[in-house]
Amino acid sequence: MISMDMDNISRFVSELMKKGFDDVAAKIEVVDSVMVKIANSSVSVVQSWKRMPVDLYLAKNKRIFILHFEPKSLEDLQKPIDSIIPLANRVTESPIYAPLPEPSKIRYVEEVVDKRVIEAANNMSNIAERVIEVAHRESIESVAGMLQVGYVETALATSRGALLGEKKTFIQGYLRAFAQPDGSGQWCYTSTTLDLSGLESMAFTASRYAVDSRNRSEVEPGVYDVILSPMVFANLLEYIISMTSAMHVIMGWSMFMKNSPGDAVASPLLTILDEPRNTELPNFRSFDDEGVETYNKSVIEEGVLKVFLHNTKTATFMNTKTTANAGWMIPVPWNIVVRPGTATIDEMVAEVRRGLLITNNWYTRLQNYVEGVFSTVARDAIFYIENGRIARPITKVRIADRFGNILKNVAMLGRELYNIQWWEVRTPTKTPYILIKNVNISKHTI
């Protein structure tokens, strides 16, 4: 069992420095989680984990090593670390090396450790049965999905003297509903506190979409106005906001590599924020992996690119300041939040003469990172909109466009935000429904 004793972790970092490294950082987590899987409207499996991942950052003579372990004790790491030392001078120097920053005072966000989440770990089957019952209030055949709760402790120590810790709870889940003959719908939910109404809304939305999407037909490829659900827009945002990572810009994996902060890159209606201090979302952080205090920031504000996401290395390379988004190598967003609009879904539909409502997607792929050319396959409930009304459910649809067009053609945003996280959206995201004009739609065939 790894001890989360802060003095022990600090001593571990000091011992690594004695081995001749110039910089050392250790991030240790204790993750206690329980997952229940749902299949054919029944609880199929309940699994529990007590994981203790250890991430290490080691630098010597501008050579960088980033290691991941799940050991039984910190002492188990000595042998693999010792094996790295002879290799240090054989590795190429990092062109973006910068020393770890000096520690500064951290203003902690209020920790969210919800006792109801911890207690729910012993009662997951009952919560799952509640979700299943709500879903079956609609005329569906079955549901499948997953619910997970957990408690996380994080400790960070650096050779510069940072010694920081944080605790949190989380809950997340998704549910997919099926209705004969061909209807299906899916929704998800995530939070740091146990909110049964959020899980019930997830179940109701999935089953309602399943019922409404029965008896599907096909639609011709072309250019359509498209309403994207929060599930879909959150998935696309994960790719878009990752391209604001300065490391991706430096490496040429970004459609923003030709842009600078201050450039207009989106509709003036669109504001997207990175909110590490939003304690409603599970990735809230008081400090980043370099021990720098986090802060909420606009990444795109009213259509204007405001900032690239930086750690100390990328900030030094680009002659600016860190944005506290480390990632020892690649800066990352913590929680993505879209500023809401004022529209209801019905008002969005009423604005569309010829368009689609897409509620879920998968297989998002980039064909050209620099140009932002991508495609994604729509799945589950998809609807054709004609003259301001939902006309019929459809199938076999793919979005094939450019992220730049998606951003610039935003025409309306919903007034209600939804917490989104599942295996197609790894970064917790809070976003509304969104109407985008002139989206290229192709036919998806299997």
Give, in order, the Cα–Cα distances in Å from 402 to each of 295, 309, 372.
30, 22, 5
Q: Write down the pLDDT at residue 446.
A: 57
**Would you say residue 3 has pLDDT above 60?**
no
What local confidence, expressed as pLDDT, does residue 316 receive?
Answer: 98
Domain coordinates in residue numbering, the chain: 6-210, 216-446
For residue 429, the model assigns a pLDDT of 99
Question: What digits encode the pLDDT tens for the residues 171-230?
Answer: 999 999 999 999 999 999 999 999 899 999 999 999 999 999 999 999 999 999 999 999
pLDDT in tens, 12-63: 999 999 999 999 999 999 999 999 999 999 999 999 999 999 999 999 999 9
Report the b/e string of 406-421 with b at 16+ CB within 10 A: bbbbbbbbbeebbbbb
What is the mean pLDDT of the segment spanning 300-327?
Answer: 99
% the chain with pLDDT above 90: 93
pLDDT at residue 234 greater than cutoff 50: yes
Mean pLDDT of 287-295: 99
Residue of 330, 380, 372, 33 whose CA lies nearest to 207: 380
At position 364, the amino acid (one-letter code) is T
Segment 131-153 shows an average pLDDT of: 98
- Report whether pLDDT(319) > 60: yes
Q: Where are the alpha helices (DSSP H) in 213-342?
A: 230-242, 246-251, 312-317
pLDDT of residue 277: 99
% the chain with pLDDT above 70: 99
| Type of residue found at 207 | S
Backbone phi, psi, residue 153, to 5°: -110, 135
How many CB atoms lie under 10 A from the CB of residue 399? 25
Tokens of 50: 């007590």
Residues 234 and 376: their CA atoms lie apart, in Å, by: 13
Per-residue pLDDT reduced to its tens digit, 57-114: 999 999 999 999 999 888 889 889 999 888 888 999 999 999 999 999 999 999 899 9
State the chain's mean pLDDT as an integer: 97
pLDDT of residue 370: 97
The answer, yes or no, to whether residue 436 has pLDDT greater than 50, is yes
- What is residue 1's predicted lDDT score, i.e. its pLDDT? 39
329-383 pLDDT, tens digit per residue, is 999 999 999 999 999 999 999 999 999 999 999 999 999 999 999 999 999 999 9
Residue 131: closest CA among 46, 47, 198: 198
Sequential DSSP letters for 140-181: -SEEEEEEEEEEEEEEEEETTS-EEEEEEEEEEEEEEEEETT
Nearest one of 263, 222, 219 to 401, comparing CA atoms = 222
Query: Residue 89 has what pLDDT?
Result: 83
pLDDT, residue 88, reads 83
Superfamily of domain 6-210: PmbA/TldD superfamily (3.30.2290.10)
